Structure 1
Amino acid sequence: MNHWLNPIDRPLIIGHRGASAHAPENTLAAFVLAVAQGADGIELDVMRCATGEVVVIHDDTVNRTTDGEGRVRALSLAALRRLDAGNGERIPTLDEVIIATAGASRPFLLNIEVKNDAAPFDGLERLVVEVVRRHGCEDRVLFSSFNPLAVRRLAQLAPDIPRGILYHHAMPAYLREVWLAPLAPHEFRHPDIGLITPEFVARLKAQGKRVNTWTVNTRADIVRAATSGVHGIIGDSPLAIRDALGI
């Protein structure tokens, strides 16, 4: 059984882009630190680079998070490797992240967000599934995306791996209310913390959905998410979440 679907007695603690409050986001340093801080898992962003590898980075360009410039999809893996992603860290591949977190003393969960809004038909979903299958880590992976069509493709490619639809309170109504949900089989909803109330979470649970919320960084928001009954809390500091929950 996939560990994301296990019964829980407290919200899962998920490091947003790793322990990104304490190390450069979406780097191996941030992911390994999340393990050390006692997170249950991590959230990470993936897209395809010019040479076809699945790399871990949030933005369409490298401008914000590295010392370079350019679109990720226009740069080769070799070119991406030459960039400094902070404190000497490099942009990792999905393979490297899976390997780096495989040695945890507990099943360490991976929420892999598929970033394909700008290039929805570049084969990213197929490549991501191939990487996960190659490492045999299907039981600790959850796929997510803002793009319901990507969620649909993931359901077709890997029906055994759970999926979540991402959205936030500032989106247009048709996205915020997930009108395309019937076309995209999924087990999880991933609303931002601005949408979270006990009533909102209860409504989604009544529909059979689990709720992971993001990005939850203040003590007040962490407590509100927990008391609202969410399945998982995604935040930049697993330490801060643990402290607020008294774990």
Structure 2
Amino acid sequence: MASVWAGGPTAKILADSWTRTLVIGHRGAAAHAPENTLAAFRFAIASGAVATECDVHLDAEGNLAVIHDNTVDRTTTGKGRVKEKSSAELCALGVPTLADLTALTKDKIVLVVEIKDGEDAPRKVVEHIQAQGMTDQTIVFSFHAKFVEATKTLDPKQTAIWLVSGKPTGEKLAEVLAQAEAIRADGLGFSYQGVTEEAIGAAHKKRLPVFVWTVPPGAEVERLRRLKANFIITDHPREVVEQLSKGAG
């Protein structure tokens, strides 16, 4: 069973998601501004989405850098691995820190923080969130079950979601649900290509909300609304919010 969430913005959107499908901006709003930049997160705040998602890696100084890849090559003009660059070097390349992002989003929108790698990253993320007083305004994501479990051990009040690769069905889905309970995950995430009616139904029976990534506007949004997915994660938050609002009621 999912844990009892602390009150606050996160608790509100989780509760609301059982009655209607809600929208999370992916990497800010990656279709509208460069991904994981402050401009993208500003767009997400204005889009009508209930939350915005970012990715974090540890840099050479052990600080949390907001970037998806483990190198800067694809999304900046620089070259090299994130963990080998200083915070100043990353800043010069336009890579924000998690501190920059929490300052921007505090009291404005729920922030989803996906922990990509770094054994010490769960502790760093949880401590930063606690220091900002944002435990009730954040959600932690990870594909790594051990990071979800570590997050819940560090702070049982911190909402943490386990992202699941592939298309689990049958016995594999049963194994996923058992592991989710073991690591105390508060919900599950699936790709839109991998999520099924069976998976959503099984998660909901365990009272686990379902987060689906990275969904384009159009037919997939309608399918996921019909299947009662709790959250759609999308590069196009404004468009998906508008699409869902037109079909409401």
Q: TM-score, normalised by structure 2?
A: 0.87
Instruction: Measure how far apart 1:177 and its partner are.
Output: 5.1
Give the aligned partner of residue 72 of structure 2: 62
**Structure with more contact order per residue of length (Cα contacts < 8 Å, sep ≥ 6):** 2
Give the aligned partner of residue 226 of structure 1: 225
Residue 96 (structure 2) pairs with residue 95 (structure 1): no
Change (3 A) 1:228 1:202: same
Change (3 A) 1:205 1:93: same
Give the aligned partner of residue 167 of structure 1: 164
SS of aligned partner of 2:221: helix
Give the aligned partner of residue 38 of structure 1: 48
Give the aligned partner of residue 216 of structure 2: 217
Give the aligned partner of residue 5 of structure 1: 11
Runs of 4+ aligned structure 1 residues displaced above 3 Å come to: 173-177
Change (3 A) 1:114 1:237: same
Give the partner amino acid of 1:13.
V
Contact 1:217 1:240 in 2 (8 A): no
- Structure 2 distance, partners of 1:61, 1:55, is 11
Give the aligned partner of residue 149 of structure 2: 152
Which has the higher mean CA deviation after the structures are superposed, 235-244 or 27-36?
235-244
Give the partner amino acid of 2:115.
V
Instruction: Measure how far apart 1:212 and its partner are.
Output: 0.8
Instruction: Measure how far apart 1:143 and its partner are.
Output: 0.7
Give the aligned partner of residue 183 of structure 2: 184
| 5+ long unaligned stretches in structure 1 | 84-89
Contact 2:11 2:136 in 1 (8 A): no
SS of aligned partner of 1:112: strand
Identity score, percent: 35
- Structure 2 distance, partners of 1:111, 1:41, is 7
| 1:139 corresponds to which of 136, 139, 147 | 136
Contact 1:168 1:194 in 2 (8 A): no
Give the partner amino acid of 2:87.
L
SS of aligned partner of 1:194: coil
Change (3 A) 1:146 1:175: farther
Give the RMSD, CA atoms, in angstroms: 1.9
Contact 1:222 1:241 in 2 (8 A): yes
- Structure 2 distance, partners of 1:176, 1:199, is 11
- Structure 1 distance, partners of 2:82, 2:175, is 30
Change (3 A) 1:69 1:163: same
Change (3 A) 1:42 1:77: same
Contact 1:169 1:176 in 2 (8 A): no
- Structure 2 distance, partners of 1:231, 1:18, is 19
- Structure 2 distance, partners of 1:154, 1:175, is 23
Give the partner amino acid of 2:220.
D
Instruction: Measure how far apart 1:197 and its partner are.
Output: 3.2
Give the aligned partner of residue 71 of structure 1: 81
Contact 1:219 1:240 in 2 (8 A): no
Give the aligned partner of residue 87 of structure 1: none
Q: TM-score, normalised by structure 1?
A: 0.88
Change (3 A) 1:175 1:2: farther
| 5+ long unaligned stretches in structure 2 | 1-6
Give the aligned partner of residue 126 of structure 1: 123
SS of aligned partner of 2:193: helix
Equivalent residue pairs, number: 233
